[in-house]
Amino acid sequence: MLEQVEARMRKSMHALKEELAGVRAGRANISLLDHVLVPYYGSEVPLNQVANLSVPEPKVIVIAPWERTMIPEIEKAIMRSDLGLTPNSDSEAVRLVLPELTEERRHDLVKQVKKIAEQSKVSVRNIRRDANDDLKKQVKDKETSEDESARLQDKVQQLTDRFIADIDHAVEHKEQDILSI
């Protein structure tokens, strides 16, 4: 049971890291485009499945589609996304130039990161609650003794504390990344 709880908490932590990677810090990072979907032969696919993505300069992302006909679709998809970036294109590729972040925008991004972190903490706490409810049910159904249930609840709490600390550490690192110029 503890293995299942830890696996679920690990998934929450992984989801947090993916979401934090999508928050724009001062430098170009291709993970910003992870959630951009483009229409390709009738279905929506991630941008990295129709183009090569690269970061030739610290503030520039270059998107080189495998088919030139995809350039207008890629531009539209980027404009639809909530990245706030304007694509520039030529006949070969789409370029995204990341503007310098203002102090106000940096603080807005920090607030966004803290909100994402709080959602992850709630997720971890919900996993703890579910595990504790299962343990209480096992005691009620006489599948587990009260002592064993209390011991397992303590271990679940230790796991919860560890993952909450990991979330705090990841957020602190991302905040430093955003606030550094």
Q: Give the pLDDT confidence of 136-165 residue by residue, as tens digits.
A: 988 888 888 888 889 999 999 999 999 999
Tokens of 104: 């106000």
* 122 pLDDT more than 90: yes
State the residue range of the domain holding 115. Answer: 2-21+102-179
Across the chain, mean pLDDT equals 88
Q: What DSSP letter does each residue of 66-130 carry, written as one string?
A: SSGGGHHHHHHHHHHSTT---EEE-SS-EEEEPPPPPHHHHHHHHHHHHHHHHHHHHHHHHHHHH
* 181 pLDDT more than 70: no
Domain limit, last residue, from 45, 74, 97: 97
Assess whether 171 and 107 both reside in one domain: yes
* 8 pLDDT more than 80: yes
What's the number of domains the chain is made of?
2
Assess whether 6 and 57 both reside in one domain: no
Question: What's this model's pTM, rounded to 2 decimal places?
Answer: 0.70
Domain limit, last residue, from 97, 117, 143: 97
Give the residue-averaged pLDDT of 60-77. Answer: 90
- The CATH number of whichever domain residue 76 belongs to comes to 3.30.1360.40
